Amino acid sequence: MRILIADDEPLIKRSLERVCMKRGHEVAAAMDGQQAVELWQKHDPEIVFLDIRMPKLTGLEVLKQIKKNKATKIILISATPLDFQNEKLSDLGVDRFVKKPFTDIEQLIIQAEELYRS
């Protein structure tokens, strides 16, 4: 599967990248919101892991700029639900919200794969 990872924390980005590659996915990783938009348009990912607080563009701003392919599954990642308290996630096309800290990174990827298949 084609997976896009957008997180400005290098260790999180790297870990997600490694697990995805280990499981045989094609991965693109962005360090900020603007890069995320560019890579999204270029790769047309099937699964997107999107952090909210990022430099240049926030995850929510990225979603507003992207013309979403209906099949793409979007998993929003944030440390606090306060970040999107004024937004309706379903209107932005978000399929799932994952709160940081997450306990098991491999499990996170497996769940995303299942979500895509369903």
Partner 1 sequence: MTLYSFLDKKNYKLWQDNVLSAPESVTADVVFFITTSNQELKMVRKRWPDSICFGIYEINDHRDPVDAWISLTWSWTQIEKIMQQIRVRNSEKNQHRIFLKDLLAQEQDLEDKKKKIEIDFKNQKNQKKQTASNIKRLDRFFESASKCESLEELFVLLTKEIKKTDPAIEFFVWLNEPEKTSRLFWLERKKLKTTWTTYCDDQEQIPVALAQTLGRPVRKVFCEPLKVLDMSGYFVFECDKKQNVEKEMIKMIAQFNSVINPLIEHFILIKKRSLMVTEWQTVFNCLSDGLVLLNDRDQVIVKNKKYQTLDEAKKKNLKKIVYPVSQNTRLEIYQDQERILDIKAQMAQKEKMAQLGEIATDLAHELNNPLTGIKSACQLLLAEKGLGEQEQEDITEVMNAVDRSHEIMRNLLDFAAEEILPTEIISLKDTLTSTTRLLKVALHEHSLQIMVPPTSCLVRAQPQLLQQVLFNLLLNACQALKSRGKIKIWIEKKNRNIYLYVKDSGPGISQEAQKKIFEPFYTTKAKGQGTGLGLSLSREIIRRFDGDIGVVSEEGCGATFWFYLKEVAEP
Q: How far is the CB of 18 from partner 1 (least distance, A)?
A: 6
With residue 110 as reference, give the H or E element that holds it.
helix 105-117
Nearer to partner 1, 69 or 79 (CB): 79
Q: 9 near 16, Cβ under 8 Å?
A: no
Question: Does residue 87 interact with partner 1 by CB under 8 A?
Answer: no
Query: At residue 112, what are phi and psi to the nearest 5 degrees?
Result: -65, -40
Return the residues of window 29-68 that contact partner 1 according to CB under 8 A: 53
Binding site for partner 1 (CB under 8 A): 8-16, 18-19, 53, 79-80, 82, 100-102, 104-106
